[in-house]
Structure 1
Amino acid sequence: MSNAQLILIDKRNQPLKEYIVAVAASDGLNIKGVEIMASPAKGETSLLNAQVLIPPLEAFDFDMKKLVNATLNAVSVKDEIMTVDEFIAQCSEDEAVRDALSKSVPKLRKKIEALLKEFLDSEVIPLILERRNDVLYKLKEHAKELKGKKIVCIDIEATNISTDPQADIIQLSACDGEGKTLFNQLINPGYDIPENEKHNITTEMVQGEPLLGHVWDEIHDQLRDADVVLAYSTESDFMYLEKSAEKKMLRFELDYNKWLDVAELSRDLNGAIRWHSERMYWFYKTPKLTASYEQVLGKPFPGDAHDALADAVATIELFNAMLDKGRKSQIEEKKKPKQVSDIITNNPFAAAFANAKRS
């Protein structure tokens, strides 16, 4: 008979910080000093130790049972990820020792639960959940409002970022609400295209292609006549069009109020929450189109992420999938933020949390 058992070792020397919980919520966390020790008997040297990895909390719906299972199914031994059963198998070849270690797993589960409870009790978690509920409500409303509407989803490739006044459009592409191509036009800027990691378009590719002014009217009017224009980051695409029209003296009748930013919706639905230590506030990171697509649809991003048409089609597919999440959600009305006690305002994290909920 063996007295071996699995023991959770917690050598942390400070309380859990809320900004750390924010990282764990989206990315998971490797906490230094928190390990599972396989002890042969009290006072004896450890058989083997495994690093505890906190799984991404939101990916498991902040559900304690799922999170405990995920934690025990992915412990780290010398950078090798394994289940707790595989860990036990590596601890000893003695069947009696292995059996004793296995019998101690329920006790270990309770210790893991207590560890995870620290994360789940953080005020960061309701802040995330409220944001997700709010965007699901928005998506449900969009699904109703956009039914039967003429949708155009656009994407643009350019010689540089939209804030550069010298940037020129070199590809304009758009699809409708079902992903059908409306236009896909390479544009000759009239000069050699500088190398840019944001796109794969070369000077040779645009030889023989029209100048922007030659195709402007048709493209402009399709955008103008749409009920709603979608883009992944509407601000930059609209800026490209507005500045190009001004620079090349082209007519411009586009209304930004008709544009809907899929990136903003994606940020609220999928974006990781982070703490800005200098400005003292919480913010949400906008995921890249490729990352959001793969997270929401659960499949690899299709095509070339540096091609305007591929991005436009992926954006509408992502948007439709998010609308479907909104339709299927149980959110009937936008939840009102609860009043937060002023008692916590001497804590900068708690104060920022309270302010974020009030806004």
Structure 2
Amino acid sequence: MSNAQLILLDKRNQPLKDYLVAVAASDGLTIKGVEVMASPAKGEKSLLNGGIIIPPLEQYDYNPKKLTEASLKQINVNDEIISIECFIDRCSNDEAVRKALSKSINKFSKQLLTIMQSFCDSEVIDLIKERRNDALFKLHNHAKDLKGKKIVCIDIEATNISTDPEADIIQLSACDQDGKELFNQLINPGYDIPENDKHNITTEMVQGQPLLAQAWDEIHDTLRDADIVLAYSTESDFMYLQKSAEKKMLRFELDYNTWLDAAEMSRDLIGAMRWHSEKMYWFFKTPKLTAAYEHILAKPFPGDAHDALADAVATMELLQAMLEKGKKSQVKQPKPKAKAETITNNPFAAAFANAKKA
């Protein structure tokens, strides 16, 4: 007979909010200070220790029992993820010890359940659910508003980020709502393309390709004549076009009000919640196109993630999948939040607050 048992070690010394940063939505987290220890007997040296992983809360419907079951299947031992049964097998070759450890799983699970419950009772859960509902409601409306509209999806590769005034466009690609290619044009910037991990385009690839001014009219007019221009991060793509037109003195008749950002929709629908420690507020992190595509469509990202045409086609497919989720949702229009009245005995503060309202 053995007195071996699984013991939950909880040596956290930080507020719960600090741990919620990485698990609030689409992430998971190995909690520092929280471990499972296989103890042979009271006062004896541990047989083996493993880290406890908090699975993605949203993925398991914020259900503490489901989260506990999932966590027991992914114990972190020296960066290797194993089940609690495999963990026990590694603890000892003694059958009696393994049997005793297995018997203690139920007690250990109940202790772990308490931790999972504390995460699910957090203030952020309602914030996440509210954001998801709002996202579905907006997608439901988009599905109706976009019906019959001519949608063009664009993607741009450039020599640097859009905020760099020296950045130049080196590929412009677009497709229609059926994913059919409208244009896929490499652009010669007129100089050697610097190495960049954001694209795979080399100087050799753009040799013999037109300058932006030579390809501009067809590209510009295709976007101008669309009812809706779709992009993954419209702000950067629009900025590339606007700054390029200014720099090269090209006509520019594009209206940002007709642009639709798939990145914003993805952020609201699946983005992980984060805590901004300096500004002290929660915010939602925008997922990369590849991550959003694979999460929402539940299949691998097609083609090269650094090719403008592949990204445009994937973005259009992502939009269609999100609109379908919106159409199928039963979410009703969110009720407007009542503005809390600020109570103060300071007449100057009250006057300032009223002025702001006005």
Same fold by TM (over 0.5)? yes
Query: C-alpha offsets along residues 215-243 of structure 1, whole Å, 9 cap, x if unaligned?
Result: 22222121111111000111111111122
Q: Which residue of 2 aligns with 1:208?
A: 208
Q: Which residue of 1 aligns with 2:345?
A: none
Q: Which residue of 2 aligns with 1:149?
A: 149
Query: C-alpha offsets along residues 236-287 of structure 1, whole Å, 9 cap, x if unaligned?
Result: 1111112222222222211110000111111112222222222222222212
Mapping of residues 55-204 of structure 1, within 5 Å: 55-204=55-204
TM-score, with normalisation over the residues of structure 1?
0.88
Mapping of residues 1-359 of structure 1, within 5 Å: 1-16=1-16, 18-25=17-24, 26-337=26-337
Q: Check the 8 A contact 1:153/1:316 in 2, yes or no.
A: yes
CA distance in 2, matches of 1:12, 1:293: 36
Q: Percent identity?
A: 72
CA distance in 2, matches of 1:266, 1:285: 10
Shift of 1:48: 2.7
Shift of 1:43: 4.3
Q: Check the 8 A contact 1:223/1:229 in 2, yes or no.
A: yes
Change (3 A) 1:179 1:87: same
- RMSD after superposition: 2.2
Segment of structure 1 superposing worse, 240-249 or 62-71: 240-249
Q: Check the 8 A contact 2:19/2:31 in 1, yes or no.
A: no
Change (3 A) 1:124 1:11: same
What SS does structure 2 have at the residue aligned with 1:50? Answer: strand
CA distance in 2, matches of 1:334, 1:122: 22
Q: Which residue of 2 aligns with 1:355?
A: none
What SS does structure 2 have at the residue aligned with 1:250? Answer: coil
CA distance in 2, matches of 1:243, 1:10: 54
Query: C-alpha offsets along residues 89-112 of structure 1, whole Å, 9 cap, x if unaligned?
Result: 222333333233222222221111
Q: Which residue of 1 aligns with 2:355?
A: none
CA distance in 1, matches of 2:238, 2:20: 36
Change (3 A) 1:163 1:90: closer
Change (3 A) 1:143 1:14: same
What SS does structure 2 have at the residue aligned with 1:273? Answer: strand
Q: Which residue of 1 aligns with 2:356?
A: none
Shift of 1:336: 4.5
What SS does structure 2 have at the residue aligned with 1:65? Answer: helix
- Count residues in correspondence: 341
Query: C-alpha offsets along residues 10-31 of structure 1, whole Å, 9 cap, x if unaligned?
Result: 2224542x13212122322222
What SS does structure 2 have at the residue aligned with 1:87? Answer: helix
Amino acid aligned to 1:103:
K
Shift of 1:44: 4.2
What SS does structure 1 have at the residue aligned with 2:302? Answer: coil
Q: Which residue of 1 aligns with 2:348?
A: none
Q: Check the 8 A contact 1:134/1:335 in 2, yes or no.
A: no
Shift of 1:134: 1.0
Query: C-alpha offsets along residues 155-174 of structure 1, whole Å, 9 cap, x if unaligned?
Result: 11122222223322221100
TM-score, with normalisation over the residues of structure 2?
0.88
CA distance in 2, matches of 1:174, 1:51: 47
CA distance in 1, matches of 2:199, 2:315: 17
Shift of 1:116: 0.8
Q: Check the 8 A contact 2:172/2:187 in 1, yes or no.
A: yes
Change (3 A) 1:163 1:93: closer
Segment of structure 1 superposing worse, 174-183 or 57-66: 57-66
Shift of 1:339: 7.9
Amino acid aligned to 2:312:
A
